[in-house]
Structure 1
Amino acid sequence: MKIGILCNSVLPLPAIQMLASNGLIVCIGLPADENPETAEVVATLAAMQLSVTRLHKNGLEDSLLRWVNRNKPDVVFVMTFPWKIPSKTLLQPKLGFFNFHYALLPKYRGASPVFWQLRNGESYGGLTVHKMDQGFDTGPIAHIHKIAIKAGETYGMHNKRLAWETVQGVGAFTQTLMLLGNAVPLTPQSSDEAQYFNRPTAKDLAIDWSAMSAKQIQCLVNACNPWNKGAFTRCGDIVFKIVQVSVKEQKIVYNQQLIPGTVINCSEKKTIDIITVDNNVLSIEVISVDEGIFTADFLVSIGLRNDMVLVNL
């Protein structure tokens, strides 16, 4: 079987390496835009001695049709590609296009599913392979490979595990496709379970002290680390990001008059303790500001004191 690959992220590189080592890849397409991650992908593929075709959003349909007709793949695997594949192109390879969505469908459709799974405190992530149709992440499902989300796991940690632990899932699906071809079983997605999540906005990346529990804040912080350098918050005129937190195990009943976000201790072991809306204590351990990344007690050096209140942006 001859496989074409469309990608723009380091996430599928272990799977691509596995497919290439088995002599299955005939062509690879990447967006032509330049950024550090794309440069890393190009360099890694070059080290594997795989040639790459750079594609532009303008004229994508014609470019993809030429790419498919020139290389004649039996199937195209789409692994983190930013643009919608034109419907005419989907019909060209004899086995079609399959999207490798690095989250569980249909519950987490959209371009940033790992962030939303972590932010929402899900127990599992994984890889969903579905045959592509004219919608976004809506095609029938061919394969699911679930991966547990570990306690305290950050976005970066989960993505790293996702890249390596889904190689098995990619291999299993590829073997099934080679064996069954167009007879590979496909299961329509349940519309009752389907949710689409947009890319996170600044509001989605900010802590709402008036509504979010200690656990929810911890999930948001982890979902923002490292790509956003933490979750946004503010104290007075100081805007900063919280990079790492822990929730205190002991349940202490604090004065109910304390406003959620109140600093109750900023003097112990380089952490800062904050009361949350569910009357738990959140220990801020690492923060990020324009000057750099520091232990939380850096905030004390620039004026943070007990009884001050962290507020929403």
Structure 2
Amino acid sequence: MEEKKKILLLCGGKFAFKAIQLLAVEKYLFGIGIGEGSEIIVDALERECENNDIPFQSFSNRKSISEMRTWINSIQPDYIFSISFPFLIPDDVLAYGAEKFINFHPGPLPQYRGVMPIFEVLKNQEKETAICAHFMNSKFDEGNIIFNDPISIDKDETYGKLAVKLSSRVAQVALNVANMLQFASKIPSSIQDETESYYYEKPQLSDTYINWKKMEASEIIALINACNPWNTGADASFLGEQIKIISASLIHEGHNNAMPGTILQLAEDNTINVACSDNQQIAIEIMSTDEGIMTAKQIMANRNLTGNIFN
């Protein structure tokens, strides 16, 4: 039986854990490096590696990347896979071998380059995303594409739900690529089309803040879902307080052109109905306030907020 290719996996945390498990079961995994993970995740992964005699290395900051080439040389892997590794791999490390480094990006390339494509595809109301397998170069997400593996986005999918779905899919995609490499010395790839490329920076407050005057109801719902749970919801302000809307749904009902952001009523289903700029309404179910995470009914209890406006 032909000896399995030795794969070293660079990761950024639990998003890669299903891939780690699958590659280990299939006897491809010969080393794990983690970058900038939480202490709990790093410690757990290190213990698991020790128990299974798998080389492990933590790269806690960009400076520590200088140690990566020596570590790779000590393991001598056939290929290095990357799943959500947070740091750019420098040229001296990439020089270990041409087309030896393969990244698995949780979004279609070249349209969704950047650190959080899951947020961006949801915010932009895409119907489909992808896991993109591509060779790595000295720039983020710009190496030649091996393939984009498409994944449908369900209606009202949140960031958390889509991340879990993509974590399972990236495991299978990584295994598929490992199997391809096992039986082929070279994998076809194509240069990215720069006319279709866009790089999204890490979201800032301006990206997660609801603009009631400009955003339509469907855009607001998409933003709320894209912010749940990583940002604890979409940002807004109400009566001078910064709040986050965690869960809401679209109501296909007009409101006689009330000012966008106006609370219309506490509905019978215990949601707060709010007017939007396109003469539609959203029904807020859960919010995070200074008092804690609360349902709409809890927020409206003992106070009449109807007619007040979100900013």
**Band of TM-score, shorter chain:** over 0.9
| 1:17 aligned partner, one-letter code | Q
Match of 1:211, SS? coil
Instruction: Note the C-alpha offset of 1:94.
Output: 5.9
Quote the Cα distance in structure 2 between the aligned partners of 1:92 and 1:49. Answer: 24
Over aligned residue pairs, what C-alpha RMSD do you find? 2.0
**Paired position in structure 1 for 2:11:** 7
Instruction: Note the C-alpha offset of 1:43.
Output: 5.7
Quote the Cα distance in structure 1 between the aligned partners of 2:106 and 2:219. Answer: 22
Quote the Cα distance in structure 1 between the aligned partners of 2:210 and 2:48. Answer: 37
Quote the Cα distance in structure 2 between the aligned partners of 1:209 and 1:226. Answer: 21
Match of 2:283, SS? strand
**Paired position in structure 2 for 1:212:** 215
Is the alpha carbon distance of 1:58 and 1:219 closer, same or farther for their aligned partners in structure 2, counting shifts above 3 Å?
closer
**Paired position in structure 1 for 2:61:** 57
Instruction: Note the C-alpha offset of 1:160.
Output: 0.7
Instruction: Note the C-alpha offset of 1:16.
Output: 1.4
- Per-residue Cα deviation, 1:7-49 (whole angstroms, up to 9, x for no partner): 1121121111111111111111112664455455546656766
Instruction: Note the C-alpha offset of 1:205.
Output: 1.0
**Paired position in structure 2 for 1:237:** 240
Q: Higher mean Cα deviation, 139-148 or 44-53?
A: 44-53
**Paired position in structure 1 for 2:204:** 201
Quote the Cα distance in structure 1 between the aligned partners of 2:52 and 2:302. Answer: 49
Quote the Cα distance in structure 2 between the aligned partners of 1:36 and 1:208. Answer: 37
Identity %: 30
1:188 to 169, 191, 215: 191
Quote the Cα distance in structure 1 between the aligned partners of 2:47 and 2:305. Answer: 48
**Paired position in structure 1 for 2:278:** 278
Quote the Cα distance in structure 2 between the aligned partners of 1:121 and 1:40. Answer: 36
Moved over 6 A (4+): none
* 2:295 corresponds to 1:291: no
Q: TM-score, normalised by structure 2?
A: 0.92
| 2:211 aligned partner, one-letter code | D
Query: Is the Cα–Cα contact under 8 Å of residues 12 and 37 in structure 2 kept in the other structure?
Result: no
Is the alpha carbon distance of 1:42 and 1:237 closer, same or farther for their aligned partners in structure 2, counting shifts above 3 Å?
farther
Q: Higher mean Cα deviation, 205-214 or 50-59?
A: 50-59
Query: Is the Cα–Cα contact under 8 Å of residues 62 and 87 in structure 2 kept in the other structure?
Result: no
Is the alpha carbon distance of 1:211 and 1:132 closer, same or farther for their aligned partners in structure 2, counting shifts above 3 Å?
same
**Paired position in structure 2 for 1:268:** 268
1:69 to 62, 67, 73: 73
- Per-residue Cα deviation, 1:230-249 (whole angstroms, up to 9, x for no partner): 11111122221101001113
How many residue pairs get aligned? The number is: 307
Query: Is the Cα–Cα contact under 8 Å of residues 145 and 166 in structure 1 kept in the other structure?
Result: no
* 2:112 corresponds to 1:108: yes
Q: TM-score, normalised by structure 1?
A: 0.92
Quote the Cα distance in structure 2 between the aligned partners of 1:113 and 1:120. Answer: 10
Is the alpha carbon distance of 1:140 and 1:299 closer, same or farther for their aligned partners in structure 2, counting shifts above 3 Å?
same
Quote the Cα distance in structure 2 between the aligned partners of 1:81 and 1:12. Answer: 9
| 2:183 aligned partner, one-letter code | L
| 1:25 aligned partner, one-letter code | L
Q: In structure 1, list runs of 5 or more residues that go unmatched.
A: none
Quote the Cα distance in structure 1 between the aligned partners of 2:82 and 2:146. Answer: 14
Quote the Cα distance in structure 1 between the aligned partners of 2:61 and 2:127. Answer: 36
**Paired position in structure 2 for 1:147:** 151
Q: In structure 2, list runs of 5 or more residues that go unmatched.
A: none
Instruction: Note the C-alpha offset of 1:299.
Output: 2.6
| 2:20 aligned partner, one-letter code | I
| 2:12 aligned partner, one-letter code | N
Quote the Cα distance in structure 2 between the aligned partners of 1:158 and 1:46. Answer: 31
Quote the Cα distance in structure 1 between the aligned partners of 2:29 and 2:274. Answer: 52
Query: Is the Cα–Cα contact under 8 Å of residues 14 and 164 in structure 1 kept in the other structure?
Result: yes
